[in-house]
Amino acid sequence: MPMQNFLSALLLLWLVNFAPPLLAFLLDERWSTPLDRGHLFRDGKPLLGPHKTIRGVVGAVVTGCAVAPILGFPWLVGAAVAVLSMAGDLLSSFIKRRFDLPSGSAVPVLDQMFEGALPLFVLSFHVGTHPAVLLSLLVIFSVGAYAGSHFFKKILLQQPFEGYPRPVKTRIRFRELTSCQIRSAPWAHMFHFEDVVMYRMIMNTVFRWLGLLEPGRNNALNIQTRHLTLAFSHLPEAFDGYELLLITDLHLDGLDGLVERLQGLLANEPVDLCLLGGDYRMENYGPSDEAVRRLKRLVPHIRARDGVLAVLGNHDCPEMVTALKDDGVRFLVNEAHCLQRDLSRLCIVGVDDPHYFRADDLPEALSHVPSGAFVILLVHSPEIAHQAARYGVPLYLCGHTHAGQIQIPRIGPLFTHSRSSRSLVQGLWKYHGMIGYTSAGVGVSGTPVRFHTHGEIVRITLRKAFGPSNDTST
């Protein structure tokens, strides 16, 4: 029983102190009002700092009350432990501010000492008052708390490399770690269990048994070129006839022969500007080196007078932004690139992945657009179409869905892997006055087959619609 009480007390302490960073991870900036509300102490320095929030303290107390009965303690003990531990944490922050240490900085021992020691006044009634027992509890708690703090502050809250294109947010960084930094197969499979089992094991096995794997691969290599003409009444005359090439969902390392097929197609498609819509890697975990190597082989075959612009997809790692910079690919990560002819501007607004990483920030991207410019929104998936329509975006270009990759005649896509309405997941569509196109993409994901769909590159000609007619498309 004493050992059980010891372990229960240790777990209670850890859970109480885990609650504030967990809430920060889950809620990001929501309800993150600083406990000191920005007030300064009489020395002119912050009282506690912005990292100590009302949300964190309340979350710790609620956690203590909730888990204490599960661990065999009265809920009042859980509440008291949480209050005392948070008081110790605030005392540590107060001391660090006096020494001009920035809010959120890590100081081993000081960070754990008070938040672990003060609750011992309550826990000693349950684990005993022997100094060795209490010291052991404090030391073990401190080691675990330091390890958790190090992971949170030094990994989830630090830029992973110079030139990192995104704002550092814990949820995004955690997803990047599991998708990009964990490369060993067992650990990667653990975080992407559903994809591994559903596609790599079940679907591939079924298609092989049915003798459909090879025909499906041949279908996947049958890439076509689609031509669209889109007319807009407010397109500047200087850009009448401007030609775009949309290439998305390449998944280049997932299908041998795909790069060579695309090289042949691109030789006959000179355009003004090429737009890459994300998902350059086949898997959504593990290394992206092979996908980058194949993309480097493909880019020189793109014939675009004004260059190549790109966005990241849900399969992509942020390291790709710098890896392809010298190859002439400019990634737009919640930003805009504007082209000027005479006094008119056409701006390509590139938004980060809204599907898995959920790193999109359309307002930030649009803030870089000068007044009066014609906007084309390039984003990996159709999942922010409603938001784009509210901002009055005239043209929305995306992919992600592969048009289902596998379709059933007269029913349509079997899966779309999108939170969007099915009316937005393939082909040309209109939403509240905004024209959009969701490309079937080039490559394949999960299982390397296509049935009743074709991969595509899309050549889009912009036209000025003169007169009072509405925006049109053909």
**CA pair distance 350, 378, nearest whole angstrom:** 5
3-state SS assignment for residue 345: strand
The C-alpha R_g of the chain, in whole angstroms, comes to 27
Sheet holding 335-341, edge to edge: 335-341, 344-351, 374-379, 395-398, 434-438, 427-431
Q: Token match 């695309």: residue?
A: 262
Q: Are 446 and 198 in contact (CB under 8 A)?
A: yes
**CA pair distance 248, 312, nearest whole angstrom:** 10
CA angle 399, 403, 404 (to 5 degrees): 120
Q: What is the pLDDT along the chain (474 residues), one digit of tens a residue?
A: 478 889 999 999 999 999 998 888 888 778 889 999 889 998 989 999 898 999 999 999 999 999 999 999 999 999 999 999 999 999 999 999 999 988 877 888 888 999 999 999 999 988 888 889 999 999 999 999 988 888 887 788 788 888 899 988 888 988 898 888 776 555 555 555 556 555 666 676 777 787 888 898 999 999 999 999 999 999 999 999 999 999 999 999 989 999 999 999 998 889 999 999 999 999 888 888 999 999 999 999 999 999 999 999 999 999 999 999 999 999 999 999 999 998 899 999 999 999 999 999 999 999 999 999 999 999 999 999 999 999 999 999 999 999 999 898 888 888 888 888 889 999 999 999 999 999 999 999 888 899 999 999 999 999 998 754 445 555
**CA pair distance 236, 243, nearest whole angstrom:** 14
Which residues share a beta bridge with 434? 431
- The 10 Å Cβ neighbour count of residue 177 is 15
**147 half-sphere exposure, CB direction, 13 A CA radius:** 6
**Which residue ranges form the domains of the chain, and what is each CATH number?**
2-158 (no CATH), 202-473 (3.60.21.10)
Residue 128 burial (CB < 10 Å; 0-12/13-18/19+)?
A: middle
pLDDT at residue 155 in the model: 80
pLDDT at residue 470 in the model: 45
**CA pair distance 177, 147, nearest whole angstrom:** 17
pLDDT at residue 163 in the model: 86
